[in-house]
Amino acid sequence: MPQLSSHAGRRPRFLISIIIAGVLSSGTFAVSGESGSRFERTYTPQGPAHLTISNINGTIRVVAWEKKTISARANAAPSVVIEDQVMGNDIEIGARRNLRLGHADFEVSAPPETALTIKNYVGEIELKGFNGHVSVTSIDSNVHLVNIDSPAVDVRVTTGDIYFDGELHDGGAYSFQSMKGDLDITLPSGTPFNLNARALSENINLGSFVNSLTGSSRGPKGIAGTHLKGGPRLTLTSYAGRILLHKK
Amino acid sequence: MVCTECQEIISEYIDGALELGEQVNIERHLADCESCRAVRDDLLQIVHFSHQLPLQSPSPALWSRIRSDVDSLHTGVWSRPQRWLARVRALNFNLSIPQLAAGAAVLVVVVSLSAIVSQRDGRPLQPAAPSVASAANADVTPLSNSDFQQLEKQISSLSATVEQKKTSWDPELRSEYERNLYYIDQSLVECRHQLKNNPADDVSQELMLNAYREKVRLLDSFEKF
C-alpha cells in the first residue's frame, strides 16, 4: 500500500505549498481512493488552527496533545474518498459523499487551542482536552466532550446523547441540543452561569444545582435561572430525552 | 425479519420504545417492504391525526355519570375487562396487536369526530395528513409568524428535492434519513399539540421554531447526497 502520510517539518516543499495555499486562499489535496483506504497526514499550522472534520459514517475522535502539529489518521472503507484542504491555518478534512453511508473512522491529535468544527451523519464523536471554540453538528451521534475549557461550545444532534464535562467562560455561549437523546452536563460547583433548559417531553434534573439556582422560573417544559453571579449562557434543549446537570 | 414479526412490534417502533437492535432490524425491513411501510404510514396517520384533534371537556352531568359508573365498578374492577378481553380473544379474529391498536385508535378518532360534529361549533377540521413529512408541515396551528412561513416554504422545497433523490440512495442511508425525519416530525406534532392547548405558550413556540430549523438542517444535509 502506498504511503499517504506526509510530514511538513521534514519536507520543505510541503511547507511551501501550505504557505502558497494560504496566500491564494485555496488549495486542495485529494488523497485516498485506494482499496481499504488509509488517510494519514500531519499539518503544521503557524498559529491556532481551525480544524474542520466532516464525516459520513464512523467515529471521530479528536484529542488534544502538547505538540504544535495536527496529526490526522483515518481508516476508511474502499468506497470512501477522504480529501483535505489547507487554507492558511484553516484545515478541512472530509469524507466525500456518495449515495451510501460509507464508513470512515477518524483519529486526530491537535494542540489544545485548536478551534474545532465537527460534522457527521452517523457515528460517535469524542473530543478531549480542548480550549478553542467547539462546534459539533450531526444527525445520529452520541457526542462526548471531556475536559473542555472553551469560550464557546455548540452541539446539535438530531438523534443521540450529549455528554459534556468541562468549564464555562464568562460571557461564553454553551448550547447543547438533541431531538432524541439525553443531555448530561457536568460542571464544577463554583461555575457561575445563566441557565435556560428546555425539555419538551421528559424531565430536567438539575442535581444539586437546584438549590443554588436563583431567580429561576420553572414551567412544565423549561427552567431558567442564574447560578452564582451568572455570566456564561448555558442553553440546553432536548425534545425527547432528559436533561441532567451534575456538579463536579 | 419477516412481515409478521415486523407488524408485531411496529406500534412500539412508532412509540420509540424499541431497543436499538430491534429498531435497526425493523428499519432494515421497512426499507425493503412496501406493505409494512404502508402499515407504518397508516398507523402514523392515525397517531398524528388523533394528536391534532381538539381536547373535549365533558359536561358536569357526564362527569357525574362517569363517577357513579366508576364507583359501581369498585368491586371486582378488573374482572369485567378481563372477561371481556378473554371473550374477544376467543373470537379468534386473527388480528395482530398493532391492528388492534389501529382499530382502537380509529374508534377514538370516529368517536371524537362525532362529538365535534354534534357540537356544531363551526370550527373547520384539519384534513388528514397523507404522510409523516406532510403531517409536520400541515398548518394545524395558524402561523402568523413570518419565520414559520419562511421555514415551511424552505422545508417544502427541500423535501421535494430529497424525496426525488432518495430513490437512488442505499437502503441504509434512506432508513437513516427517514428515522431522523420521523423524530423531528414527532417533535413538531408534540409542539403543535401543546400549542393547541395553550397558544400563548412561548416555550412551545420557541421549541417549534427550533424544530423547524432542525428539519431544515436535516433536509439540507441529506439533499447533498
Q: Which residue has the cell 444539586?
A: A208
Q: Which residue of A has its CA nearest to B214?
A: A158
Query: How do residues A58-111 score in pLDDT, each as one tens digit?
Result: 999 999 999 999 999 999 999 899 999 999 999 999 999 888 888 999 999 999
Among A220-229, B23-32, B145-154, name the one with the lowest average pLDDT. Answer: B23-32
Q: Radius of gyration of chain A from Cα atoms?
A: 20
Q: Which residues of A touch B203 (CB under 8 A)?
A: 198, 219, 221-222
Q: What is the DSSP letter of B57?
A: P
Q: Which of A31, A38, A51 is nearest to A108 (CA)?
A: A51
With respect to residue A55, please indicate whether it lies within any of the assigned structural domains. yes
**Grid cell digits, residue B22:** 430491534
Q: Which residues of A touch B211 (CB under 8 A)?
A: 179, 239
Q: Which residues of A touch B170 (CB under 8 A)?
A: 99-101
Share of chain A above pLDDT 90, in %: 76
Residue A8 has pLDDT above 80, yes or no: no
- Give the whole-angstrom CA distance, residue A210 versus residue A28: 51
With respect to residue A184, please indicate whether it lies within any of the assigned structural domains. no
Check CB contact under 8 Å for B218 and A99: no
With respect to residue A65, please indicate whether it lies within any of the assigned structural domains. yes
Check residue A84 and give its pLDDT.
97
A72 in Cβ contact with A94 (< 8 Å): no
With respect to residue A183, please indicate whether it lies within any of the assigned structural domains. no
Q: Is B54 exposed, middle or buried (0-12, 13-18, 19+ CB in 10 A)?
A: middle
Task: Tell me the residue type at A187.
Answer: L
What is the domain range of residue A74?
8-150
With respect to residue A170, please indicate whether it lies within any of the assigned structural domains. no
Mutant choice from A158, A159, A221 vs B, greatest count of B C-beta within 10 A = A158
- Give the whole-angstrom CA distance, residue A177 versus residue B183: 14
Query: How do residues A151-197 score in pLDDT, each as one tens digit?
Result: 999 999 999 999 999 999 999 999 999 999 999 999 999 999 999 99
If one counts the domains in chain A, the total is 1
Q: Is the ipTM of this complex over 0.95?
A: no
Instruction: List A110's β-bridge partners, or say none.
Output: A64
Check residue A99 and give its pLDDT.
82
Instruction: Collect all residues from A whose CB is shorter than 8 A from any CB in B.
Output: 97-101, 121-122, 137, 139-140, 156, 158-159, 177, 179-180, 198, 200-201, 219, 221-222, 237, 239-240
Query: How do residues B100-151 score in pLDDT, each as one tens digit?
Result: 667 677 777 666 665 554 443 433 333 333 333 333 333 344 455 677 788 8
Residue B175 has pLDDT above 80, yes or no: yes
**Grid cell digits, residue A95:** 469524507
Among A17-31, A125-139, A204-218, name the one with the lowest average pLDDT. Answer: A17-31
Check CB contact under 8 Å for B214 and A158: yes
Check residue B130 and give its pLDDT.
32
Check CB contact under 8 Å for B180 and A221: no
C-beta atoms surrounding A41 within 10 Å: 24
Check residue B141 and give its pLDDT.
45
Check residue B79 and give its pLDDT.
52
Is B217 near chain A, with CB under 8 Å? yes
With respect to residue A2, please indicate whether it lies within any of the assigned structural domains. no
Mean pLDDT value of segment A33-54: 88
Length of chain B: 225
- Give the whole-angstrom CA distance, residue A56 versus residue A118: 11
CA distance B81 to chain A (A): 31
Please state the pTM of the whole predicted model. 0.66
Length of chain A: 248
A·B CB contacts under 8 A: 75
With respect to residue A192, please indicate whether it lies within any of the assigned structural domains. no
Is B147 near chain A, with CB under 8 Å? no
Residue A24 has pLDDT above 70, yes or no: no
Mean pLDDT value of segment A33-43: 80
Check CB contact under 8 Å for B187 and A200: yes
Reading phi first (left if > 0) and then psi (alpha if -120 to 50, else beta), residue B97 is in: alpha
With respect to residue A121, please indicate whether it lies within any of the assigned structural domains. yes
**Grid cell digits, residue B88:** 374477544
Check residue B117 and give its pLDDT.
47
- Give the whole-angstrom CA distance, residue A29 versus residue B10: 47
Is B225 near chain A, with CB under 8 Å? yes
User: What is the side-by-side order of every strand in the sheet holding A50-54?
Assistant: A28-30, A82-87, A90-95, A50-54, A115-122, A134-140, A152-159, A173-180, A233-238, A193-199, A222-227, A213-218
| Concatenated DSSP letters of B151-214 | HHHHHHHHHHHHHHHGGGS-HHHHHHHHHHHHHHHHHHHHHHHHHHH-TT-HHHHHHHHHHHHH
Question: Helix crossing, B171-197 with B202-223: angle to 10°?
Answer: 160
